[in-house]
Amino acid sequence: MRKSLVAGALFGLVALSQPALAAFVGPTAPNNWTITNTGTLIGPAPSPGFAQFTTETLTLVGSNAVTPGPTFDVPACVGGVYGELGPCQLRVTIQLNGMYTFNFDYTTTDFDGPLGDIFGVLVDGMPIMLSDPGGGNSQSGHASFTAMSSFGFFIDCTDCVEGRATVVISDFWFVPEPSSTALLLAGALGWGALRLRRRETPVV
């Protein structure tokens, strides 16, 4: 009887565990993500970044503007510096803990190359650069990260002039972390099974 109870509880524990989720569906469906543009663009014809979802892909397009200064190298982002992470970013974030795996294809039309448009991820709010500032104008890669509370993608346009970056996220997978309830149940079952085994062990 006790063995059957333990087996039933183990079955319940398995039911609590969640499988990997492919693409942007369920908990990672588009309406569960937050799209924001940070910082302030100035100058003629500012064009904030934007993001578009399908169930299979996420496309991010960074911000860009015409330089407000007398020369082409005057930033159109207040506080922005060419080639450095700054205030003007497109961010697409979600509040879910777990493991995120994806492919990315990065392209920039910035006259000075990828140093002017930085692509990366936000793991628990911390920026991690994925694009290579010394690489080509077109780049691709595969990445995996584990987040404890939140995850996201960003494009930082740095000075935000002379071209913008586009990034396509594909082959996206999300693996949820086990819930605290499941972990507590696992610990309780382990202790209960140990006690049951001790009670059933014959005395020599």
What's the CATH code of the domain at 50? 2.60.120
In a domain, 86, yes or no: yes
- The confidence score (pLDDT) of residue 73 equals 86
Cβ atoms within 10 A of the Cβ of 164, count?
A: 22
C-alpha separations of 153 from 25, 118, 145, 161, 204 in Å: 17, 11, 12, 21, 63
Cβ-Cβ contacts under 8 Å for 176 (sequence gap 6 or more):
18, 21, 27, 96, 97, 98
d(CA 176, CA 173): 10
Count of domains in the chain?
1
In a domain, 14, yes or no: no
In a domain, 5, yes or no: no
In a domain, 104, yes or no: yes
In a domain, 11, yes or no: no
- The confidence score (pLDDT) of residue 78 equals 97
Using alpha carbons only, what angle is made at residue 50 by residues 166 and 141, rounded to the nearest 5 degrees? 30
Cβ atoms within 10 A of the Cβ of 52, count?
A: 12
C-alpha separations of 202 from 3, 8, 101, 193 in Å: 17, 25, 50, 16
Task: Report residue 46 as tokens.
Answer: 């500012």
Map residue 165 onto helix, strand or coil.
Answer: strand
Cβ-Cβ contacts under 8 Å for 40 (sequence gap 6 or more):
77, 78, 79, 87, 88
**Tens place of pLDDT per residue across the chain (204 aa):** 444 444 444 334 434 445 788 899 999 999 999 999 999 999 888 999 999 999 999 999 999 999 998 888 899 999 999 999 999 999 999 999 999 999 999 999 999 999 999 999 999 999 999 999 999 999 999 999 999 999 999 999 999 999 999 999 999 999 998 754 344 344 444 444 444 444 444 544
- The confidence score (pLDDT) of residue 194 equals 42
11 half-sphere exposure, CB direction, 13 A CA radius: 6
Instruction: Give strand pairing partners of 51.
Output: 60
Model-level pTM? 0.80
In a domain, 191, yes or no: no
In a domain, 64, yes or no: yes
Which residue segment(s) compose the domain that 120 sits in? 20-176
Rg for the chain (alpha carbons), in Å? 24
